[in-house]
Structure 1
Amino acid sequence: MRLVTYKRRGWAGGKVGALRADGAVLDLSAADAQVSWDNMPALIAGGQGMLKRARAAAEAAPVVEDAILLAPIPRPLKNIFCVGKNYHEHAKEFAGSGFDATAKEVVPEAPVVFSKPPTAVSGPGDTIPAFLDPTGSTDYEGELAVVIGKAGRGIKAADWAQHVFGYTIVNDVTARTLQHKHRQWILGKGIDGFCPMGPAILTADEVPDPRALRLTTHVNGEKRQDAPVADLIFDIPTLIETISAGITLEPGDIIATGTPAGVGIGFQPPRFLKAGDVVRIEVTGIGVLENPVG
């Protein structure tokens, strides 16, 4: 099942809906009025019971003709956990780009974890505000993101699947010069609107093995990134175990797992985003996240 958050023109907030295979948004609230359907983290926290109810509602739900998709979780309750240098070829291209001021090793010895604030989140079709990057070095990073369903601290890698609600797509947009200048990544990656997310959360029952998923990124129709999730250096069980060792993961928390090779700084000279560009990221089963640059 693919769950979305959508709005209609004139609405101040959004509602949870289901995304049909043909792209139509289904109005769950019309099929089950006993649930408010206005909060994705609350639905996630409701566990299997709420997910079963959502599936039942989707069976009878009408189509929302003028739906506008938002990020599946428009305002996460916490910062998004992100993982840097987590594909072998990207680790190499980043090390050779001249923009990595954080470490000497090419392939990390342990997961490199940073975060993006909730204010960075934007939705499908929203403009990436490259104008907020004064250095003109805005870059794209297509990523598979994990959405946590069951809370936990000290989660063992063997138990990772019990804590995953589903998967979505994140574009870890980055101001490369700021990333390098400040020797840490939140100022270069946490700019408002620098975390497009969506179009949907694909529930975990639809993904027996996330390693089988494939991520591709196109810029203006040109393929830039293409890799299976199986190429991750640190896999999803390892990331969940590492982050939860001392930080409680809660329903609705998001872990962006890293980006493959093919980002703008991997070219000589770097190919940064500019106004008018369009970034399109696709992951098997989840759908397409597409955003213009402004």
Structure 2
Amino acid sequence: MRLATLRTGGTTVAAVAAGGSWAPLPHRDVGALLRDADGLATARASAGPGPLPAGADLAPVVPHPAKVVCCGHNYAGHIREMGRELPAHPTLFTKFADTLTGPADTVTVPGLAADLDWEAELAVVVGAPLHRATRDGAAAAIAGYTAANDLSVRSWQRHTGQWLPGKAFDATTPLGPVLVTPDELDPAAGLALTCRVNGERVQSGDTADLVFDAPALLAYISAFTRLSPGDVVLTGTPAGVGAATSPPRFLADGDVVEVSLQGVGVLTTPIRIEFEECA
């Protein structure tokens, strides 16, 4: 089953792929659907095969999660390119809900964020309450998977040992285009994850290379904080980020970044950098 949050008439509505189009659901977005005990059953009753309609105006697939938790250094290849050892525990940081943006939205940052870097990611969305869950319990609570681009302002990320400032600029994390339920998608089997900048492939990974997979991350996170339906966990990025190239490479005004996750779809993100004009 494939779910999306559509923008329509100044508001949003959850929808499910059905018969070549989208069937609207009685929920304002996919997060609200997941918080409804009967939401997935309602969606399944309306579901059917169907592609994403051309020109659909999509919001972040989960626009208002209570928690957005992210894992860094989680692909073995990316860890090696950064010159680090494989971690014993996940490296975690958080984002705010207002960092999320739609899968085709332009990302606009101020000139002070000019060292903007790409990070293609698999994201997992929680579908049931989790607290001190086992791996099996965490796996059973996964609502589905989607794609993300953890666009990162590297200088702000490195102001201190805490990454938050560089990861939390407003509306800099495209999420979507759809949520695909686990019965249709298995990242452990290996899903191709790529990133292109202006058509040039800069990242090419496989979700089978994750050090900590989705159930492991949810179980670990739920040991110290409760996770609720609609919460989002980003699982990390593969090798090929701009900061790791020699010399480092960052996004420029007018660039277009495309993140593609096999079985989910593509995030297409135009980049706008607003430099202040001199008086």
Structure 2: runs of 5 or more not aligned: 273-279
Q: Does 1:270 align with 2:248?
A: yes
Superposition pairs for residues 192-207 of structure 1, below 5 Å? 192-207=170-185
Q: What amino acid maps onto 2:184 in structure 1? A: E
Counterparts of 2:21 and 2:243, CA distance in 1: 37
Selected match of 2:22 from 7, 26, 30 = 26
2:201: which partner in 1?
223
Is the contact made by 2:116 and 2:153 (CA closer than 8 Å) also made in structure 1?
Answer: yes
What's 1:32 paired with? none
Q: Which of 74, 99, 107 pairs up with 1:86?
A: 74
Match of 1:14, SS state, is strand
Question: Scaled by the length of structure 1, what TM-score is found?
Answer: 0.85
1:20 Cα deviation from its structure 2 partner: 6.1
> CA 1:186 to 1:106, structure 2 compared with 1: closer, same or farther past 3 Å?
same
Partner of 1:98: none
Where 1:239 maps in the other structure, the secondary structure is: helix
- What are the superposed Cα offsets for residues 193-248 of structure 1, whole Å, 9 maximum, x if unpaired? 12111101011221245442221111111111111111011222221111010211
SS at match of 1:42: helix
Higher share in helix = 1
One-letter amino acid of the counterpart of residue 216, structure 2: T
User: Any idea what SS the aligned residue of 2:107 has?
Assistant: coil
CA contact (8 A) 1:27 1:64 kept: no
- Letter aligned with residue 18 of structure 1: V
The offset of 1:25, in angstroms, is 4.5
Give distance in 2, aligned partners of 1:25 and 1:119: 29
Give the C-alpha shift of residue 60 in structure 1: 11
- For residues 167 and 133 of structure 1, the distance between their equivalents in structure 2, rounded to whole angstroms, comes to 33
Q: TM-score, normalised by structure 2?
A: 0.90
Tell me, in whole angstroms, the C-alpha distance in 1 between the residues paired with 2:92 and 2:221: 8
The separation in 2 between residues aligned to 1:146 and 1:87, in whole angstroms, is 16
Quote the Cα distance in structure 2 between the aligned partners of 1:252 and 1:113.
19
Q: Deviations over 1:16-52 (max 9, x none)?
A: 112469xx651324xxxxxx221322211234x4223
Query: Alignment RMSD, CA only?
Result: 2.2
Deviations 1:140-179 (A, max 9, x none): 1000000000101111113222110000111111000111
Alignment partner for residue 251 of structure 1, among 229, 234, 237? 229
Q: How many residues align?
A: 271
Whether the 8 Å contact between 2:17 and 2:47 is mirrored in structure 1 is: no
Determine which structure has the larger strand proportion and give its number.
Answer: 2
Equivalent in the alignment of 2:3: 3
The Cα of 1:77 is off from its aligned counterpart by 2.3
Question: Where does the alignment leave 5 or more consecutive residues of structure 1 unmatched?
Answer: 30-35, 96-104
Match of 1:52 among 37, 41, 53: 41
Alignment of 1:239 onto 2:224? no
SS at match of 2:43: helix
| CA contact 2:129–2:227 (8 Å) conserved in 1 | yes
CA distance in 2, matches of 1:159, 1:209: 17
Q: How does 1:123-202 map to 2 (within 5 A)?
A: 123-129=102-108, 131-132=109-110, 134-202=112-180
